[in-house]
Amino acid sequence: MNSQPYSVSRREFLRTSSFATAGAVAASYAGVFAAGSDKIRVGLVGCGARGTGAAMNCAIADPAVEIVALADVFPDRIEECLKRLKDDRAGKEWSCSREWKDSHRVKVTPDTCFSGFDGYQRLLKAGVDYVILAGPPHFRPAQLKAAIEAGKHVFMEKPVGVDPVGIRSIIASSDLAKQKGLGIVAGTQRRHQASYVETMKRIRDGAIGEIVAGEAYWNGPCVRTYGFYHERQPGWTDMEYMLRNWYFYSWLSGDHIVEQHVHNLDVINWAIGTPPAEALAVGGRQWRVEPQYGNIYDHFGARFRYPNQAVVVSMARQINNTEGRVAEGVIGTKGRASAGRIEGEKPWRYEGPNPNPYEQEHADLIASIRAGKPLNEGRTVAEATLTAIMARMSAYSGQPVSWDFALNESELDLTPKEIKEQGFKLGPAPKVPPPAPGNAELI
């Protein structure tokens, strides 16, 4: 949130929002992890850079964490991840608050490394208490379902699906987690960032009045700049190439408006207290046109209308040599708010501590489990992901998309036909041409 805010009724906002902080719950180890042990046995599914970083974040967040199992489709990714986790000389990893110094708590053995498409299923049987899901978003619904059915607490990276069918699965698994007393926290880390949390408390208390408008941005360079693209290597099949470059294929990532911009849209939903009623969007693929960039767009623009008639404009762009802006803000009848700042009748600026939110989200989940009141962010992150999916569906189809249609009626499942018929195999890649603006069928 680096721009401005709004408000539905404060009562509704309070009902739908949570403000978790690490010190808000008491610590009690009994019977929570590892059959009463004070150790927290963590398994990582998805051993790329974000997964490795998330495992480090989790260990830094709580000294009782032990990383005991790894799973990925590709064995070399597991080997690379384990090498980094066991190297205290690796330096300060991305999103960690300090240099990695906890390799002594990496208890992974050859028997607890699981490769292949079913690796996550075998990991769930390896004595883990807490599972980190950090592979391509396409796999998140099935993996969350399996983890909750196996009785595991879950941290899952955003986004949590790529289509309405997957989102309904996430919501069902989240409901099951509540019934079973299991915790779920998502990688929408702004919900655990002190400056955002304190801003939302003031919005809830009416500091900017009723929210009437908002804006959300994630404009930056092509993600190839960040190392997401991997050159094809000898021996890779078409499917392996696609999976290793999952970001660039909408069936695996959801497109960048879903994979990346979901952060900003989640903040808007959080501030208003509800997902939007409708999305109308445009987008295209004009700069990133080479075949190695898969089939995703390079820009989106959207307008969201919320149930209280607030209107939010949204931009998501991945084009080099353009202005970068990552921000959210809402405007109310008495002022405007962005992360850590309120302007208007009740001006305010956050000046307190701001612990690393990538670690705080793990600390909050672990603390809530110990207190016997596990956090469950499954539905809120599902709603944020579906908000972004609605905009992508609208841009692809050229039609407005309502929340009710996307949540309850849409049968859209981006799983390629070849995979539905034959299952996952490291052979020929499915055919996924870029969607032409306005040409996709609204399913």
What are the mean pLDDT values of the chain's consecutive 10-residue runs (443 residues total)? Answer: 36 34 34 65 96 96 98 97 90 82 96 98 98 98 98 98 98 98 98 98 98 97 74 90 94 97 98 98 91 91 98 96 94 98 97 96 98 98 98 96 98 92 86 78 90
User: Do you find a cis peptide bond into 159, omega within 30 degrees of 0?
Assistant: yes
> Looking at residue 308, what is its pLDDT?
95
Element (H, E) at 113: strand 113-115
SS3 of 415, please? coil
> Looking at residue 5, what is its pLDDT?
31
Q: Torsion over CA of 31, 33, 38 and 39, rounded to 10 degrees?
A: 160
Q: How far is CA 137 from CA 25, 160, 247, 359, in A?
A: 31, 6, 9, 21
CA-nearest of 292, 326, 296 to 220 is: 326
Task: Name residue 339's amino acid.
Answer: A
Question: What would the 3-class secondary structure string for 368-400 be?
Answer: HHHCCCCCECHHHHHHHHHHHHHHHHHHHHCCC
φ/ψ of 331, rounded to 5, equals: -120, 130
| CATH 3.40.50.720 placement within the chain | 15-188
Helices (H), 100-139: 119-123
What pTM, to 2 d.p., does this model score?
0.91
| CATH 3.30.360.10 placement within the chain | 191-350+377-422
* Cα-only R_g, the chain: 21
SS3 of 37, please? strand
> Looking at residue 228, what is its pLDDT?
78
> Looking at residue 4, what is its pLDDT?
34
Q: 15-188: which CATH topology?
A: Rossmann fold (3.40.50)
Task: Name residue 213's amino acid.
Answer: A
Residues β-bridged to residue 284: 299
Q: 191-350+377-422: which CATH topology?
A: Dihydrodipicolinate Reductase; domain 2 (3.30.360)
Classify 366 in phi/psi space as left (phi over 0), alpha (psi -120 to 50) or beta: alpha
Q: What does the alpha-carbon distance between residue 69 and residue 107 come to, in Å, rounded to a whole number?
A: 8
Count CA atoms closer than 13 A to 173's CA, side-chain side: 31
CA-nearest of 307, 316, 196, 216 to 258 is: 316
> Looking at residue 10, what is its pLDDT?
31
Helices (H), 181-227: 194-204
Q: What does the alpha-carbon distance between residue 263 and residue 148 come to, in Å, rounded to a whole number?
A: 24
The DSSP call for residue 435 is: P
Structure tokens at 374: 């596990």
Task: Name residue 107's amino acid.
Answer: K
CA-nearest of 279, 47, 32 to 151 is: 32
Instruction: State the Cα angle at 45 between 70 and 413, rounded to 5°.
Output: 155
